[in-house]
Copies of this chain bind each other. A is one copy, B any other.
Amino acid sequence: MPIEVELIASTPDAARIVAAAAKICYSPSGAVDILDGLDTDKTVSFLKMLRKSGHLSPFEHVSFTFAAEGISRVATHQLVRHRLASYSQQSQRYVSMSGQTCIVPPSVLKNNKAYELFMKQVEESWNCYKELVDLGISKEDARFVLPHGTETRLVLTMNARELNHFFSLRLCKRSQWEIRELARKMLILAREAAPEIFDLAGPSCVVEGVCKEVHSCNEPYENMEKMLSE
């Protein structure tokens, strides 16, 4: 089961809001007058300049809210380490896990013998979970035997500055495959909603044309389209 991601909310007219907020720092005019004077072309080139000069705080004024399903608790444990974000996640204390599945890593999917072992083990975990619940163990305690790859669901919100930071870390090929897949789908959706903001995003190989990792994968992305289509 592949990760499903939807963009359920975002700040309308995001690029112009970022540009107006940035311009207020250097202008004697007010925000509303600045907004009125901003056309698309000016906005695009201005945002490019902002990013280049490292003036990133105006990108905080616009936010993007995603709903994700089909993602493992392995990945969400990593994900929620990004602290400049908001999360609402399905609780294993309150929701029975009877309808859930376990995420299967692609490396396991490709290996028949491993896949067989994996699926058998997952099934037994679920049987054990149910037996424990039948014995009177609470859901919140029975889940200790569930596989760490158990599917979860969550809603997450990041502003555009943090999203760009997230994409730079998590779209790197050295990132865990699952959170990388989440990031890829989030970026595709964010680009549709605010192309002027996310026209260039991802790890340093894509954004700066050169890998800045100490332990490089040595297989940099050629460009953003390659990264997004993989």
Spell out A's residues near B (CB within 8 Å). 4, 6, 8-14, 17, 20-22, 24-28, 30-32, 35, 52-54, 57-58, 60-63, 65, 67, 69, 72-74, 76-77, 80-81, 83-84, 86-96, 99, 102-105, 107-108, 111, 113-114, 117-118, 120-122, 124-125, 128, 131-132, 135-138, 140-141, 143-150, 153-155, 157, 159, 176, 213-215
Contacts and interface: CB of A to CB of B under 8 A. Distances in A.
* Identical copies in the complex: 4
A15 to B, nearest CB: 11
A11 B9 contact: yes
A69 B34 CA distance: 13
Contact of A65 (B11, B53, B99, B214): B11
B176 A17 contact: no
Contact of A8 (B10, B20, B146): B20
Contacts of A11: 9-11, 63, 65
A159 B85 CA distance: 11
B89 A25 contact: yes
23 contacts: A9-B14, A10-B11, A21-B65, A22-B88, A24-B88, A24-B155, A27-B95, A28-B99, A31-B67, A60-B86, A61-B88, A61-B157, A76-B77, A105-B144, A107-B137, A107-B138, A108-B132, A114-B136, A117-B132, A117-B135, A118-B144, A125-B125, A147-B148
A61 B86 contact: yes
